[in-house]
Chains A and B, each alone.
Chain A
Amino acid sequence: MENTEQRLSRLRGGGDPEAHNARTIAAMTRNPGCVRRAIMDAAGVDKPAVAAAVGHPTSIGRLSDFAVSRGISFETRVKSEGCAELLRLLREQLGLPVPQAHYEDLGSTGKGETVSGRYLRSKAMLDTAEQGTGTLFDHPLLRLSISGVWAYLEPDLVAFQLGEKFYVIEIKSFPVIDGVADASKVAASVTQSAVYVLALQSLLSEAGRDPGLVSHEVILVCPKDFSNQATATLVDVRKPLAALRRQLSRMDNIAALLHLLPANVTFDPELPAMELAQALTQASARYSPECLAACEMGSFCRAEAKGSTAILGRTVREDLGGVDAVSTALELATGRLQPTKDLLQAAHVLRLAQRMRTEALAR
């Protein structure tokens, strides 16, 4: 009898699962109702490879090198000289007391150190963090279990002892101009930070400490206006945190979803394209246009959803009274199709709309 882990391994075509990072974990919360995505993420399927194999190559998450190097240089700047600029911000904006100026580098010491070794070092260091011994932990290594597999995560910084709490610090290079930042970028950073908060809570739990020591606010550090100077803002992550917990627990129960799949189905990117595409359709997707920016399979699912009202967007679908197919909507509107009972109201509205359009455009 095959267990869940073996089944997941076979699903991805053997080999190691794709490593998750904060971005991919954050993206999981975007369309929680999608079975296809839940299974693929749980199995750690190489989604970009699968998408390319079925003729829908993707560029999700691909950043311009300029953006990457600017991000690195801003982070370096904020952290230089023992995080001098960051200390200034924490003192000025969040009232960090002057004696708390400790700095611990938990970054990799180079070759020879294993990931789990690094995690243990971070854990030991954060566990012993007490009043007066630690303020800033640079690049600690955290981990989160994604359907039974450890995903290792590296937040920019963790600060301790702001009001006796651990704070996740996220350094981003998008600007805050006159106190306002791009809402979508803030939202994306907040969801990513929530991943770190969850991982830090799980580290403390493992160490037998109170996970409530982790603040549900994160400190977002961004360039101020058009300069290289940094500014810090506290952002509440409770909502994305809750969404994340829910989705991860769902993926922990992946066995239930796996039963929906025929036993011979796998999503091995090495399969012939036709066979792979056929296999994918065995796991039902819940496509919406937002998927295009959040999931590597988005373009494939859109092609699959052709002819459905889902490709027109969620609000359009709602305005159509939840009618699934483009052709059904049209036939209901023109009266060629007699509505079933559940579509009576929708049909009435659609016929009215059809009459208005015909009337207005005929004149």
Chain B
Amino acid sequence: MQLRAATPSGTMDLDLRRGSFTVTLNAICWKCSPLPASGFSSGEPAKPKTGEYWKRVGVWYGAGVSSMDDLERTISGLRKQIRQSVASNDHATLAELRVKLRQAEKQWDEALDELAPAAPATMSLLPLREQVHQALTVLTVAAAPKLIAAVHEAFFAGAMAGGQLTHLRRDEERSFRSAPHARPYYLCSAVTADRLTPVRGLLAVSTWPLERRVIGSLSPRVDFLTAAIRVAEHVLRPGAAGPHALQLLRRFAASIPGAWADADEVSPDMVMRAARAELDVHDHSDRVQRRAAAARASKQLDESQQLFGAAPLGVARQAGERR
């Protein structure tokens, strides 16, 4: 399809050979997503009238394409230069070129954003912390972001981006320190049994007993088995055995002796039985270690440390020295 549209600098021809181009334009047209400010003199872009619309799309799309072409040329030129200076070990030029590249890429990204129609909302409507809380409540044990995301995907609608969870714990800690107990629960840390410092990469719920949030040397296994049982129980609920849930259960089953007979079929009852059998082996020693550590923690740590863990030894000492 040939398209002729007016631009500020005259007219411009667009050759829309590809179906996908047309579709996108139609979608933009139909959605009336805000047009980029750069295409207009000032202020909020007003919703254009239908008649005017194609002209504007043309202006804006055409301008976007041509500047993006330039940018891409710049970017690929820069990358070439970078590779050359890497080869010749020219570090000074390299650093400079990298900065330029980053700028160009950023501009490209911005140009891309301008082309982008609004992202579809497929994410869960609940705030992230509540989704995490939901998943952890299913598991009843401290868990890593990846497992939390998998549980959420298995039993609650919508995907969760695991990467977003990294900042969550810090936000929660800040919130607790500024206004303790203002919220009904906090997403907090699990703490190591020996030094009571936060365990890397695990999230827990503040309302759980401290004993459950202390991680001894057998606890990762015990918690894994507990989580397997909880997931199996959940799968048994009516309507919960979706493909994601079964896949999750299969993942657990694979690492528990006697939890599966056939790689394709997974039975929640079998998983529970096998997990409980192994749990019986570890449970006592684990409980003793956790209980002792929890008792120590409740004596030695203040309230927020009990939730978010003691500072690592080195850091604590430095802090002490400064005082």
Q: Do chains A and B touch in the complex (CB under 8 A)?
A: yes
Tell me the residues in window 89-142 of chain A with beta carbons closer than 8 Å to chain B beta carbons.
Answer: 91, 98-99, 101-105, 107, 109-114, 117, 132-134
How many A-B pairs have beta carbons closer than 8 Å: the answer is 77
A135 to chain B minimum Cβ distance, whole angstroms, is 8
Inter-chain contacts of A359 with B (CB < 8 A): none
| Contact between chains at A91 and B221 (CB < 8 Å) | no
A109-B312, A111-B315 are known contacts. Are A83 and B87 too (CB-CB below 8 A)? no
B-chain residues with CB within 8 Å of residue A87 when the two chains form the complex: 221, 255
Interface of chain B: mostly helix, strand, loop or mixed:
helix
Say whether B87 contacts A57, CB under 8 Å. yes
Chain A residues positioned under 8 Å from B116 (CB to CB): none
Bound state CA distance, A340 and B318, in angstroms?
Answer: 73
Whether B314 contacts A112 by the Cβ 8 Å rule is: yes
State the Cβ distance, A263 to closest chain B Cβ, in Å. 30
Residues of B contacting A109 in the complex (Cβ-Cβ under 8 angstroms):
195, 197, 312-314
Asked if A84 CB lies within 8 Å of chain B CBs, one says: yes
> Which of A57, A98, A107, A133 is in CB contact (< 8 Å) with B257?
A98
Decide yes or no whether A13 CB sits under 8 A from chain B.
no
* B88 on interface, CB distance cutoff 8 Å: yes
CB < 8 Å neighbour of A99 from B89, B227, B282? B282
Residues in A with CB closer than 8 Å to B257 are 88, 91, 98
Please give the number of chain A residues whose Cβ is less than 8 angstroms from any Cβ of chain B in the complex: 29
A111–B219 Cα distance when bound, in Å, is 25
Flag whether B223 is at the interface (Cβ < 8 A).
yes
B114 at interface by CB-CB < 8 Å: no
Cβ-neighbour of B144 out of A81, A88, A114, A117 (below 8 A): A81
The CA of A83 and the CA of B315, in the complex, are separated in Å by 28
Q: Mark B271-309, 1 if CB is under 8 A from A, else 0.
A: 000000010011001000000000000000000000000
Q: Give the residue of A52, A81, A113, A133 whose beta carbon is less than 8 angstroms from that of B220.
A: A81
Cβ–Cβ contact A82 & B315, under 8 A: no
Least Cβ–Cβ distance between A107 and chain B, in angstroms: 7
- A57→B256 CA distance, assembly (Å): 50
- Cross-chain contact of A101 among B87, B88, B146, B218 (Cβ < 8 A): B218
Give the chain A neighbours of B281 by CB distance below 8 A.
98-99
Q: Which of B87, B89, B199, B255 contacts A88 (CB 8 A)?
A: B255
* Given A57-B89, A112-B315, A113-B312: A84 touches B278 (CB 8 Å cut-off): no
In the complex, which of the residues A82, A111, A114 contacts B221, with contact meaning CB atoms closer than 8 Å?
A82
Which residues in A have their C-beta under 8 angstroms from that of B192? 105
Residue among A81, A102, A110 making CB contact with B312, cutoff 8 Å: A110
Q: Assess A101 versus B89: contact at CB under 8 Å? Given A113-B312, A113-B313, A114-B314.
A: no
Nearest residue, chain A, Cβ from B317: A112
A206 to chain B, nearest CB (A): 22
In the complex, whether B200 has a CB less than 8 A from a CB of chain A is: yes
What chain A residues lie within 8 Å of B57 (beta carbons)?
Answer: none
The complex places the Cα of A91 from the Cα of B223 at a distance, in Å, of: 19
B190 to chain A, nearest CB (A): 12
Give the residues in chain B near A83, CB-CB below 8 Å. Answer: 220
Q: A87 vs B257: C-alpha distance in the bound complex, in angstroms?
A: 10
Specify the chain A residue showing the minimal Cβ separation from B316.
A112
Contact A80 B221 (CB under 8 A): no
Which residues of chain A (61-95) have a CB below 8 Å from chain B? 80-85, 87-88, 91
Once bound together, how far apart are the Cα atoms of A210 and B312, in whole Å? 32
User: Cβ of A103 and Cβ of B220 under 8 Å apart?
Assistant: yes
Shortest Cβ distance from A110 into B: residue: B312
Q: Which residue of B lies closest to A92 (CB)?
A: B257
Nearest residue (CB) in A for B144 is A80
**Interface presence of B217 (CB below 8 A):** yes
Chain A residues in 8 Å Cβ range of B219: 82
Q: Which of A82, A91, A134 has the most CB of B within 10 A?
A: A82
Say yes or no: is B14 at the interface (Cβ < 8 Å to chain A). Answer: no
Please give, as numbers and ranges, the residues of chain B lying within 8 Å of A102 by CB-CB distance.
217-218, 221
Within B165-196, which residues are at the interface with A (CB < 8 Å)? 192, 195
Contact status of A57 and B88, CB under 8 A, knowing A88-B255, A105-B200? yes
A114 to B317, CA, bound (A): 13
The residue in B89, B197, B254 that gathers the most chain A C-beta atoms within 10 A of its C-beta is B89
Q: Which of A83, A101, A107 is packed against the most chain B CB atoms within 10 Å? A: A101
> CB of B61 within 8 A of chain A?
no
A113 lies within 8 A of B314 (CB) = yes
State the CA gap A117–B317 with chains docked (Å): 13
CA–CA, A134 and B217, complex, Å = 7
Check if B200 sits within 8 Å of A82, measured CB to CB: no
Cα distance A107–B201 when bound, in Å? 12
Assuming the A-B contacts A98-B278, A134-B217, are A117 and B89 also in contact, with contact meaning beta carbons closer than 8 angstroms in the complex? no
Which residues on B sit within 8 Å (CB–CB) of A134? 217
Evaluate contact between A88 and B254: CB separation under 8 angstroms: yes
Q: Which of A52, A81, A104, A110 contacts B224 (CB 8 A)?
A: A81
With a cutoff of 8 Å between Cβ atoms, the chain A residues found around residue B270 in the complex are none
Which residue of chain B lies nearest to A103 when distances are taken between CB atoms in the complex? B220
Knowing A57-B89, A80-B146, say if A103 contacts B255 (CB, 8 Å).
Answer: no
B31 to chain A, nearest CB (A): 36
Q: List, in ascending order, chain A residues with CB within 8 A of B5's CB.
A: none
Chain B residue numbers with a CB within 8 Å of A133 are 217
A 228-263 to B, binary, CB cutoff 8 A, 1 in contact else 0: 000000000000000000000000000000000000
- In the complex, A15 Cα to B314 Cα: how many Å? 27
A sample of 13 more A-B contacts (CB under 8 A), given A52-B89, A103-B221, is: A81-B220, A81-B224, A82-B219, A82-B221, A82-B224, A83-B220, A84-B252, A87-B221, A99-B281, A104-B217, A109-B197, A112-B317, A132-B285
Q: A residues engaging B (CB < 8 A)?
A: 52, 57, 80-85, 87-88, 91, 98-99, 101-105, 107, 109-114, 117, 132-134
Can you list 11 A-B contacts with CB-CB less than 8 angstroms, sorted by A residue number? A52-B89, A80-B146, A81-B220, A82-B220, A88-B256, A98-B281, A101-B278, A103-B218, A103-B221, A109-B313, A111-B314
- 8 tightest A-B CB contacts, nearest first: A82-B220, A112-B314, A101-B221, A112-B315, A84-B255, A102-B217, A52-B89, A88-B255
